[in-house]
Amino acid sequence: MKIASAEQMQEMDRAAIRERGIPSAVLMERAAGAVAKAAIALAERGGGHGGRPRRAVCFCGPGNNGGDGVAAARLLLEAGWEIRAILVGRREKMTPDCREMERRLNELGGTLEDFAPDRPGFAQWCLDADVMIDALFGIGLNSPLREDARLAVQMMNTCDVPVVSADIPSGVEADTGRILGDSVRADATVTFSLPKAGLFLGEGGLRSGALTVADIGIPLDLLLWADSKLSSVSAADVSLPRRDRAAHKGDFGRVFVLGGCVGYSGAPVLAARAAVRAGAGLVTVGVPEPVWPAAAVKLDEAMPHPLPAGRTGALALAAQAPVLALAERCGACLIGPGLSRDPDSAQLVRQLLAGLPMPVILDADGINALEGHIDVLDARQDRLTVLTPHDGEFARVGGDLSTGDRLAAARAFAQAHGCCLVLKGHRTITAFPDASAFVNTTGNPGMAKGGSGDVLGGVLLALLGQGFPPREAVPLSVWIHGRAGDLCAQAIGEYGMTPSDLIARLPQVLRECEGAGQPCF
């Protein structure tokens, strides 16, 4: 799904109101309806309420986001709820739409109270509520929370009452996910029309809770018109084509894995097994000669080959010619799993990057080999190179995460070096040289174990080898990898799951994805 920036969303709202003649109050009422519906659902999940009416506390700012909250309070009041609508901010700053929603609330007998946390009985009323609505600030916030707003956020975060946020948790920067001083930790967020990057990225992605995208009536052509280069990848975006009934193994890609050293024999094995499970037709594996016996025992479906090794048990420079010969007929190569940081192995990687004409995926020590030699990557801008670093590896090759904006950092690196970057972590980001990017929506902390990245490399290798275009293969591989992790977590829990469990779940994920069409990113 397309992800809108704050500026783009504001422009779409403006166009809907001024050019299409949709009253802003109508859009606000629809937004409020979605928030109220989410509040009711949250309260019902909390169980019984002793026969008394349900209660909601709505913290509302003076802007249009606050107007959404005031309108939601009125809708809950109409539904028979007891509500406290609280204005956190100065009345003279209320927008016309927010004032109109206050008028409608007053007509029904409700009141928009000024924020007075010391008022007798107020704190206890909040503690007894079934749900709280956060409508303090929307996507336009660009400075840290202060004074009463920060106090209201702290109340929502400490009352042990479920919270639903309107559009975005107050205090989260819409375009980056950075926290502006403090922010609401929402149990659910109802965002309007299109999701925003801050609901996925950074700390904001951890504070948004269950995300719902509500249609509030912005015309579809305006949403499609938005020139967004950022998309999320979710189940609705994924479809794999059915295989040709007359196909043979050569039609599904010949791929090559290079890695391993003494002490790290498992990494290339995991990558190769994942590539086989992800549909690659023929998988060749190159490992140092001392590692070959272990790899050969573990790999029934892939084809392991011994390569020259140095004294440390890592690949030697003499492996270059046999590697090029093995890779000659392959459509894609994965370099790096378990490779080690041996100087000769690192130099071998750099020499291979210069000579390999096909797409190359660099993982782990394949990435580390570029430290201080980023010119080698720059020289491959005429060929696809995919890097899959975690934050530490990203920093070693010049990635800058100092601002806390992971999306901007990933885009800047991909553009500067003409590569595809998969910046791994919570909500993995895939960035391309044209500044387009994808945010993944699958995965869990149970995948934070050595070997999980090797599985991702194998899946990506398989899809590229089968001929999927990079713009489909890379984000799709990340999604498949995370989905396999989620299935493992559901079946056996996050603590006990292993990278081998991820591989075992790949067929189930691929079967879920199989359909008649191409991936529709």
Annotate 270-303 with DSSP letters as a single string: HHHHHHHHTT-SEEEEEEEGGGHHHHHHH-SSSE
> What is the DSSP code string of 235-251?
GGG--EEPPPTT--GGG
- Asked if 515 contacts 237 with a C-beta cutoff of 8 angstroms, the reply is no
Tell me which of 233-242, 323-332, 379-388, 430-439 is least confident. 233-242
From the number of C-beta atoms within 10 Å of its C-beta (0-12, 13-18, 19+), residue 300 rates as: exposed
**What is the CB-side half-sphere exposure of residue 394 using CA atoms within 13 A?**
25
Distance CA 521, CA 519 (A): 6
> pLDDT by residue (tens digit) across 364-381?
999 999 999 999 999 999
Residue 519 has pLDDT above 60, yes or no: no
Cβ count within 10 A of residue 158 = 10
Report, as an integer, the average pLDDT of 211-222: 94
**Do 253 and 281 form a contact (C-beta atoms < 8 A)?**
yes
Q: Do domains 6-228 and 240-515 have the same CATH topology?
A: no
Q: Which residues sit opposite 241 in a β-bridge?
A: 515
% of the chain exceeding 70 in pLDDT: 98
Fold classification of 6-228 (topology level): Rossmann fold (3.40.50)
How far apart are the two ends of the chain, measured CA to CA in Å? 8
In the chain, where the domains are located: 6-228, 240-515
Q: How many residues does the chain have?
A: 521
Q: Which two tokens stand for residue 72?
A: 């939601």
Q: Please choose, from the candidates 354, 310, 318, the residue with its C-alpha nearest in 3D space to the C-alpha of residue 335.
A: 354
CB 172 within 8 A of CB 179: yes
More confident residue, 4 or 240: 4
Tell me: pLDDT of 430 over 90. Answer: yes
Residues 6+ apart with CB under 8 A from 137: 61, 63, 65, 145, 149, 170, 171
Q: Give the pLDDT score at 245.
A: 85
Q: What is the pLDDT of residue 250?
A: 81
> What distances in angstroms separate CA 244 from CA 154, 238, 275, 512, one per listed residue?
58, 19, 20, 18
Q: Which CATH number is associated with domain 240-515?
A: 3.40.1190.20
In one-letter notation, the amino acid at residue 392 is G
